Structure 1
Amino acid sequence: MKTRNSGLVIMLICTVIFMCIAVIYSNNRKNAEIKLEESGGETIVVDSGADLIIWYNDSSLVPYIEESAYRYSSGLNIDLVQVSTLDYLEKINEFNLEGKGMPDIYIVDSEMLQKAYMAGLTSTNEDPAYSEQNYSKTALAAASCDGGLVAYPFYFDTAYMVYNKAYAANAPKTFDEILNFASSFDAAATGTVENILRWDAKSLLYNYGFIGSYINLGGENGDDQTIVDLNNENLIASLNYYQALSQYFSIDINTVSSDSVLQEFTQGRTVYSILGVSALSALNESGINYGIAVYPDLTETLKSRSLSATTVAVVNPYSKHLEKAQKFVNYITYEHAGDLYGQTGLMASRKFESYEIPGMEMIMKQYAQSASLPKLISASDFWVQLQNMLNNVWKGMDTATEAGTMESRMLSRLNLNNQQ
């Protein structure tokens, strides 16, 4: 009886504590709704009385940032404002000019960073924690413009290879190895395997690796418009190889998706798949005996280079709380970053000495080897144009023509046609 009563007391205490936290959070949110302003059809907080205002797009970040604010030092009263990506930077500039309601910190994809930098919406990151000791060159390059750090690497996505260990004992080093495997593998004898290799062939994240070693737009940091190399012999050879794969594996780009690829792999119906960070949780929960490998080269001579998409945190130079913003952005992107995946499913850009979750170490290795999308303002639709080129190649269009058209289009966008 005493044990039962003790349990009830503990439950009551926990309930009271939870209610107190909820009231504090509710009061903070109520304060955040004091003054509102319409901007581009959205209602945005103008004056919340919060310690910091943070703008973001991805709603999955909310529990992590709120928990971080609660745990940070003596706790912070923050206002999280979800703002659509449409005219995102323009809205920040608008609020900066008005001098009220501007974000102290905002979260943005790295390919938008040059636009933010050129508009005077970034501040220099001089924090010594953001070095190659704690971040890969890929992460630091994603947060850089004009040769210097102007943001804080936060989280990323990238493409990697998975393989079913029940049928493939070792990670493939090349796609040629997968083709050799396919030529001798008896799928019918397994009773379950339907596919040798699957990936979402209409998504640049998974496709880019086939040509990534032989294209360069914007240089190392993706912000130098004088560097354009989108048409060379190795690129055309890689496009030819990619086209041959499309004919061999017969993937229908009109019906395939990253979700269907993941489902087929976790059900044991596919031997090799190309997946992204969001698939890791399902892979580990599926119970399938799998391995993770970096994106294979095409052949022994044709190399691959996977794509990564890095999201960064930026401290607004117009913030009225610069020092406080710099310290908190360090907390969420560096000091406390080990908790990011568990609360959001997003993988932190920060490196760690070890990883408890299977697969993470290899994904980080892949991230370090990957290329980022360019930040060039004039080539903001580069990823769309590149995927369109790959779609055309997949459908059988001439590879040399497609590469030449792609390069010419980008040179024209950058006004470099007469300089080449």
Structure 2
Amino acid sequence: MLKRSKWFSLVVSMMLVFALAACNSAGNNGNEGNPAPATNAPANDTAEEGSTDELVPEKGAKLVVWEAQEQQAYMQEIGKAFEEKYGIPVSVEVVAGGDQGARLTTDGPSKTAADVLTLPHDQIGLAVKAGLLLPNEVFEEETRANNVETAIKASSYDNVLYGYPKSVETYAMFYNKDILPEPPKTWDEILSFAETFNDPAQKKYAIMWEFVGYYTYPFIGSYGGYMFGDNNTNADDIGLNKGDVVQGFEFLRKLKSILPMNAGDITYDVKTQLFQEGKLALNIDGPWSVAAFKDKVNLGVAPLPKFPNGNDSITFSGVKSYYVNSYTPYPVAAHLFANFASSKENQLKNYQLTGAIPANIEAGEDPLIKDDPITSGFFQQFANSVPMSSVPGVDLVWEALKATFIALWDDTSLDIKTTLDNMVQTIKDGMSAR
């Protein structure tokens, strides 16, 4: 499969060579019999799109792009703008962000997958190993220059850049300013607030989050635990049951007194509706959900509360990037689109429409970002975050974490240490079997 990825990269490079040859031929001898360099490429491109006027998309190219529901309005605009500029039709299909990697695994080889998709950086290890992604070679230099270093590293695997960074993100604490003019700074404050605010019969709750590893990780990371050693790169060192993690889970169970629900009943849709209705005061969520609340809630965003041990809440951070499917029949057009969609201007457009925080350096300095109190809340939390791992096998960790969090929350008779040790062994066994 890796050979296929290299083969596609070679094809792109060869097409670029032919394109340059066509440009030189047409420019040097004026032979009208030669084809134009690129009838649908712009004569004057922006600096951010650099070498695009030297690329000739494949004849008859048309692209399919996968995008999550919350990004549909944005991506429809980008697709239309790309078609107007390059003459290449773009069809946008709704596929949940967390499902695109799995879909690519099956739909890529069967040639039914999108040409361009978005992946969180922790999913690229498996995709690269399976030969499903083309390296970002044509636009590598400008991509590296234009985006924050963390995003570049997260979009790379084995020091090869594959992605076109789109946004950086972590989650934080949304609060309703009509209920809480100032956000609580500690979990103890939340527990005290819940005593007067909570009314389960009326579906009123102080705080909610989804019981998956991503959102519940602070109960591990803030108590000395970690996913993998060596900055999440060493899969031989699993730290999910190390440090004072047992204490973190003991405190997690204490919160059931203010959130008396089964973990499986706390879904994104449930907490989103309650927060919109003013029945949920605090909602742990990410920048992708800002658009759902901006016109319905007097919204504030703040860092997550400190834990009783005095530590800040340590969250996971991630980088979302566009990637080109190695099975695309239109690799040149697909690379063009990924580069176009990830430009400074389009990252700012994405921020305006959905709240996604740009990875582009200049976009991050734009007043739209720097002067926005909502975005600044995410930036503050980002300082207390750790990047998710992209090592192959991290999917086993996510599955095991979710099952463990739900089990320990729903069944308080389970021994915490034994359950954590069993979880880690299950992860190790799963990795060894691959």
TM-score, with structure 2 as normaliser: 0.68
Inter-partner Cα distance in structure 2 for 1:284 and 1:193: 24
Q: Does 1:199 align with 2:215?
A: no
Inter-partner Cα distance in structure 2 for 1:187 and 1:111: 38
Inter-partner Cα distance in structure 2 for 1:369 and 1:376: 22
Q: Does 1:398 align with 2:418?
A: no
Shift of 1:136: 6.7
Residue aligning to 2:281: 271
Residue aligning to 2:300: 291
* 1:355 alignment partner, one of 368, 391, 415: 368
* 2:265 alignment partner, one of 255, 258, 263: 255
Shift of 1:116: 2.0
1:155-197 alpha-carbon deviations (Å, 9 max, x no partner): 46643212333453433232123224446xx449x9x997452
Shift of 1:320: 7.2
Does the CA-based 8 Å contact 1:144-1:221 persist in structure 2? no
Residue aligning to 1:53: 63
The change in CA–CA distance for 1:55 and 1:222 in structure 2 (over 3 A counts) is farther
Q: Which amino acid aligns with 2:104?
A: Y
Shift of 1:328: 3.2
Q: Does 1:306 align with 2:315?
A: yes
List runs of 5+ in structure 2 lacking aligned partners: 1-57
Does the CA-based 8 Å contact 2:75-2:92 persist in structure 1? no
1:318-344 alpha-carbon deviations (Å, 9 max, x no partner): 767656544432221233221124556
Shift of 1:349: 4.4
Does the CA-based 8 Å contact 1:333-1:348 persist in structure 2? no
Shift of 1:261: 2.3
The change in CA–CA distance for 1:143 and 1:171 in structure 2 (over 3 A counts) is same
1:65-214 correspondence to structure 2 within 5 Å: 65-72=75-82, 74-80=85-91, 82=93, 85=100, 86-93=102-109, 95=111, 105-120=116-131, 121-124=133-136, 126-130=140-144, 134-135=147-148, 137=150, 139-155=151-167, 158-182=170-194, 186-187=196-197, 195=204, 197-213=206-222, 214=224
Which range is displaced more, 340-349 or 249-258?
340-349
* 2:227 alignment partner, one of 196, 217, 220: 217
Q: Going by fraction, where is helix more abundant, 1 or 2?
A: 2
Residue aligning to 2:251: 241
Does the CA-based 8 Å contact 1:379-1:413 persist in structure 2? no
Q: Which amino acid aligns with 1:174?
A: T
1:206-250 alpha-carbon deviations (Å, 9 max, x no partner): 323332344433457755423421211321221111111123442
Residue aligning to 1:376: 391
Does the CA-based 8 Å contact 1:54-1:80 persist in structure 2? yes
Shift of 1:309: 5.3
1:331-346 correspondence to structure 2 within 5 Å: 331-335=340-344, 336-343=346-353
Q: Does 1:408 align with 2:425?
A: yes
The change in CA–CA distance for 1:314 and 1:256 in structure 2 (over 3 A counts) is closer
1:3-40 alpha-carbon deviations (Å, 9 max, x no partner): xxxxxxxxxxxxxxxxxxxxxxxxxxxxxxxxxxxxxx
Does the CA-based 8 Å contact 1:157-1:276 persist in structure 2? yes
Shift of 1:297: 2.5
The change in CA–CA distance for 1:344 and 1:54 in structure 2 (over 3 A counts) is farther
1:8-27 correspondence to structure 2 within 5 Å: none
* 1:387 alignment partner, one of 402, 425, 431: 402
Q: Which amino acid aligns with 2:105?
A: L
Shift of 1:267: 3.1
The change in CA–CA distance for 1:303 and 1:410 in structure 2 (over 3 A counts) is farther
Which range is displaced more, 101-110 or 405-414?
101-110
Query: What's the RMSD between the two structures over aligned residues?
Result: 3.9
Q: Which amino acid aligns with 1:145?
A: Y
Q: Which amino acid aligns with 2:248?
A: S
The change in CA–CA distance for 1:119 and 1:255 in structure 2 (over 3 A counts) is closer
The change in CA–CA distance for 1:327 and 1:207 in structure 2 (over 3 A counts) is same
SS state at 1:380 partner:
helix
The change in CA–CA distance for 1:253 and 1:217 in structure 2 (over 3 A counts) is closer
Inter-partner Cα distance in structure 2 for 1:323 and 1:219: 38
Inter-partner Cα distance in structure 2 for 1:90 and 1:252: 33
Inter-partner Cα distance in structure 2 for 1:89 and 1:412: 22
Inter-partner Cα distance in structure 2 for 1:408 and 1:250: 30
Inter-partner Cα distance in structure 1 for 2:62 and 2:228: 34
Inter-partner Cα distance in structure 1 for 2:257 and 2:385: 27
Does the CA-based 8 Å contact 1:141-1:220 persist in structure 2? no
Which range is displaced more, 231-240 or 349-358?
349-358
Does the CA-based 8 Å contact 1:389-1:406 persist in structure 2? yes
Q: Does 1:280 align with 2:290?
A: yes
Aligned length: 359
Does the CA-based 8 Å contact 2:166-2:359 persist in structure 1? yes
Shift of 1:77: 0.7
SS state at 2:305 partner:
coil
Does the CA-based 8 Å contact 1:123-1:150 persist in structure 2? yes
Shift of 1:94: 5.1
Which range is displaced more, 340-349 or 376-385?
340-349
SS state at 1:231 partner:
coil
